[in-house]
């Protein structure tokens, strides 16, 4: 039941025996995947650069060379595996044995004696032996790694008909989606506050952002619809055809989109023909609401993703291991329709080439029968989810006590992620002004921006680092203002805080923050 696998970069062949063939398995090679798509035609969403990008010319030759089973290759500059100076790679990892009730707690608490197990890979043995893993390989990822990532995605999302392309982590995945779809001059949609490390990326290749308003439930479908339904292509250029969003524990606001909103947004995507880039690094870090008593008998239900409802193939889901394994992994994947997958692989072949072996070895070993298996991964992330929920609860209790009690700030309890979006009640500040007539071209009606800068400086002087909302403001296309009635500059009265850190930092940091707030709101004379 093996199949031949073509090394796409330099063209060697390897025989692959799937270790656990599954009826749900949908591994596709670059060269055959488009054929099986049953999605609607979305070719027009690809950028000109993407459409011009030709597959590696050497692929044409490699394809020809499959005519016989026992071909002798004098073709490729592949170093022989006996010349790799590595013969064993071993990772000591947490045990997720069934007998351990809470794997994350056991791992953290017990120090050197914490129950552990090993993932061991040698030249010829392991879920992904070094002989194959360390050679040139496929842009989409090694077939076995692509398979385990597909099985994992199927388990949590059961997408209608999709293909997995490995990435070098979340940032790489999102940037590749932008490059794939973004035509210079295009407008993309995003939450009005978003993670600027990523929304910064496509600006230099001519993408403009259109910020969509948010409330405590995240992106507001009605505002999205307003933008799209009133879009004037003559005046504003091509209607936005891409939405970038973080549906769970959004960065920076911590918001999570409800199922209802997700459905509304997906329906808008269908009506107005846009692609949803679902960037979901906090998917596994979803929490019970603060009020609900957790039912230990009932396993926690993760929110359905955009991918899970994607009948058209218009969702590109970006998965990351940074928050549940470690950021240094730099390995994730994009799940998309087969057409976009093919285009992604051609982009990979023209940029980063195939993903690194060590990460693929780790991931494949972890999810294989000799490692944690998918069930063990699920135990780990559910245990981790509880750990972060405890941190959130700890943080919020402190927050109410040290900060909210001042009356000058408040927040909502986030249902996912790592962040608390703290609203500053600037309207209580003696120097707050709400009805400014600007002469400097700004549309802001308040002095929110100036006061928040002042507050941020004071917090820094107090020895605490937080993130100001201004840094997350999605850069709109100022030449084409959309809605002057409610400029985002008047909604900068927020700070992003994290509960991912240590208890000591939270305690000291929030205490200082409360103190600074009191001083700031008292000190009306300060100029």
Considering only residues 226 to 265 of the shown chain, the ones binding a second copy according to CB under 8 A are 251
Residue selected from 32, 36, 200, 442 as contacting a second copy according to rule CB under 8 A: 200
Sites for a second copy among residues 137-156 (CB under 8 A):
137
Q: Which of 272, 284, 306, 380 binds a second copy (CB under 8 A)?
A: 380
State which residue, 184 or 430, has the beta carbon closest to a second copy. 184
Q: Counting Cβ atoms within 10 Å, is residue 363 exposed (0-12), middle (13-18) or buried (19+)?
A: buried
In degrees, to the nearest 5, what angle opens at C-alpha 521 toward C-alphas 520 and 522? 90
Which tokens hold the place of 9?
A: 């970069």
Cα angle at 53 between 49 and 59, to 5 degrees?
A: 170
Nearest to 360 by CA among 33, 137, 158, 156: 137
Tokens of 246: 């973080």
- 64 touches a second copy by CB under 8 A: yes
**Residues 415-444, interacting with a second copy (CB under 8 A):** 417-419
Instruction: Report DSSP state, residue 309.
Output: G
Among 32, 38, 86, 216, binds a second copy (CB under 8 A): 86
Q: Are 253 and 201 in contact (CB under 8 A)?
A: no
Rounded Cα distance between 489 and 492, Å, is 6
Nearer to a second copy, 1 or 60 (CB): 60
Q: Which of residues 121-140 bind a second copy (CB under 8 A)?
A: 130, 133-137
What SS3 class is residue 6?
strand
What is the closest distance, in whole angstroms, from the C-beta atom of residue 134 to a second copy in the complex?
4
Least separation in angstroms between CB 83 and a second copy: 7
Report the residue number, 427 or 457, with the smaller CB distance to a second copy: 457
Binding residue (CB under 8 A) for a second copy from 273, 312, 378, 387: 387
Size of the residue set binding a second copy (CB under 8 A): 117
Q: Sketch the per residue contact string, 474 through 503, with a second copy: x for CB under 8 A, - otherwise.
A: ----------------------xxx-xxx-
Part of the chain binding a second copy (CB under 8 A), chosen from 32-40, 209-217, 233-241, 456-464: 456-464
CB of 392 to a second copy, least distance (A): 13
In this structure, the chain runs to a length of 527
Among 371, 155, 183, CA closest to 275: 183
Least distance to a second copy, CB of residue 37, Å: 22
Residue from 22, 90, 125, 442 in contact with a second copy (CB under 8 A): 90
Which of 344, 340, 309 has its CA nearest to residue 45? Answer: 340
Residue 197 Cβ vs a second copy, minimum distance, rounded to whole Å: 5
CA torsion through residues 458, 460, 463, 468, sign: positive
Residue choice 16, 31, 49, 443 for contact with a second copy (CB under 8 A): 49
- Closest approach, Cβ 184 to a second copy, in A, equals 9
Taking the complex as a whole, how short is the minimal distance between the CB of residue 368 and a second copy, in angstroms? Answer: 16
Cis peptide before 255 (omega within 30 of 0): no
Which CA distances in Å does 38 have to 162, 301, 313, 318, 335?
Answer: 10, 29, 9, 21, 15
Q: Which of 227, 492, 510, 517 binds a second copy (CB under 8 A)?
A: 510
Q: Could you give the CA distance from residue 181 to residue 173 in angstroms, rounded to a whole number?
A: 13
- Classify the phi-psi angles of 353: left when phi > 0, otherwise alpha if psi is within -120 to 50, otherwise beta: left
> Between 240 and 359, whose beta carbon lies closer to a second copy?
359
Binding segment toward a second copy, per CB under 8 A, in 22-30, 196-204, 299-307, 479-487? 196-204
Q: How far apart are CB 406 and a second copy at their closest, in Å?
A: 16
- Taking the chain, what is the end-to-end CA distance rounded to the nearest angstrom? 76
- Identity of the residue, 228 or 357, whose beta carbon is nearer to a second copy in the bound complex: 357
Tell me the closest approach of the beta carbon of residue 305 to a second copy, in angstroms.
20
Report, in Å, the least distance between residue 319 CB and a second copy: 15
Nearest-angstrom CA–CA distance, 479 and 476: 9
Whether 142 contacts 128, CB under 8 Å: yes
Is-contact 333 314, C-beta < 8 A? no
State in angstroms the smallest separation of the CB of 84 from a second copy.
Answer: 4
Beta strand 494-498 with 419-424: parallel, antiparallel or unpaired?
Answer: antiparallel
x-marked contacts with a second copy along 91-110 as a string, rule CB under 8 A: xxxx---------x--xx--
Q: Which is nearer to a second copy, 117 or 161 (CB)?
A: 117
Which of 61/436 has CB closer to a second copy? 61
Nearest approach in angstroms of CB 275 to a second copy is 20
Among 129, 258, 466, 490, binds a second copy (CB under 8 A): 466
Specify the residue, 129 or 237, whose C-beta has the smaller distance to a second copy.
129
Give me the sign of the Cα torsion angle 266, 270, 271, 274: positive
- Nearest alpha carbon to residue 476 among 151, 104, 191: 191
Provide the mask over 331-370, with x wherever binding to a second copy is found by CB under 8 A and - wherever it is not.
x-----------------xxxxxxxxxxxx-x--------
């Amino acid at each position: 039941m093996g199949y031949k696998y073509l090394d796409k970069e330099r063209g060697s062949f390897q025989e692959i025996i799937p270790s656990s063939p599954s009826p749900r398995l949908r591994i596709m090679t670059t060269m055959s995947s488009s054929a099986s798509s049953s999605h609607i035609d979305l070719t027009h969403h690809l950028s000109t650069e993407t459409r011009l990008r030709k597959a590696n010319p050497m692929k044409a030759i490699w394809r020809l060379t499959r005519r016989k089973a026992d071909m002798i290759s004098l073709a490729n500059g592949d170093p022989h595996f006996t010349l790799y100076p590595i013969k064993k790679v071993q990772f000591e990892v947490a045990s997720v044995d069934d007998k351990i009730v809470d794997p994350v707690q056991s791992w953290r608490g017990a120090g050197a004696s914490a129950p552990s197990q090993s993932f061991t890979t040698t030249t010829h043995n392991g879920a992904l032996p070094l002989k194959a893993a360390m050679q040139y390989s496929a842009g989409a990822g090694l077939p076995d790694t692509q398979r385990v990532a597909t099985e994992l995605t199927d388990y949590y999302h059961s997408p209608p008909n999709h293909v997995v392309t490995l990435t070098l982590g979340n940032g790489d995945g999102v940037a590749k989606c932008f490059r794939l779809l973004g035509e210079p001059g295009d407008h993309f949609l995003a939450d009005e506050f978003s993670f600027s490390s990523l929304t910064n990326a496509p600006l230099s290749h001519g993408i403009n952002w259109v910020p969509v308003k948010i409330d405590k439930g995240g992106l507001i479908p009605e505002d999205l619809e307003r933008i799209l339904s009133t879009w004037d292509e003559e005046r504003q250029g091509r209607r936005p055809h891409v939405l970038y969003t973080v549906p769970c524990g959004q960065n920076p606001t911590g918001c999570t989109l409800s199922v209802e909103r997700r459905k509304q947004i997906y329906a808008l995507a269908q009506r107005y023909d846009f692609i949803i880039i679902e960037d979901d690094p906090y998917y596994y870090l979803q929490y019970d609401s603060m009020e609900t008593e957790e039912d230990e008998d009932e396993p926690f239900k993760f929110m359905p993703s955009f991918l899970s409802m994607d009948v058209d193939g218009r969702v590109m889901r970006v998965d990351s291991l940074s928050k549940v394994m470690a950021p240094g992994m730099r390995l994730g994947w994009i799940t998309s329709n087969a057409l976009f997958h093919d285009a992604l692989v051609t982009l990979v072949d023209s940029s980063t080439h195939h993903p690194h072996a060590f990460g693929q070895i780790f991931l494949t070993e972890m999810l294989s029968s000799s490692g944690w298996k998918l069930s063990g991964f699920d135990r780990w992330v559910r245990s981790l989810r509880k750990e972060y929920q405890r941190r959130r609860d700890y943080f919020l209790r402190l927050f109410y006590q040290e900060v909210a009690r001042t009356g000058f700030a408040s927040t909502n309890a986030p249902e996912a992620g790592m962040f608390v979006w703290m609203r500053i009640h600037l309207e209580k500040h003696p120097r707050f002004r709400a009805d400014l007539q600007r002469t400097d071209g700004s549309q802001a009606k308040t002095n929110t921006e100036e006061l928040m800068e002042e507050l941020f400086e004071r917090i820094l002087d107090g020895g605490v680092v937080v993130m100001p909302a201004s840094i997350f403001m999605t850069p709109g296309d100022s030449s084409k203002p959309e809605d002057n009635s409610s400029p985002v500059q008047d909604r900068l009265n927020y700070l992003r805080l994290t509960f991912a850190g240590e208890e000591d930092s939270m305690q000291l940091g929030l205490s200082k923050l409360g103190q600074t707030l009191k001083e700031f709101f008292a000190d009306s004379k300060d100029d």
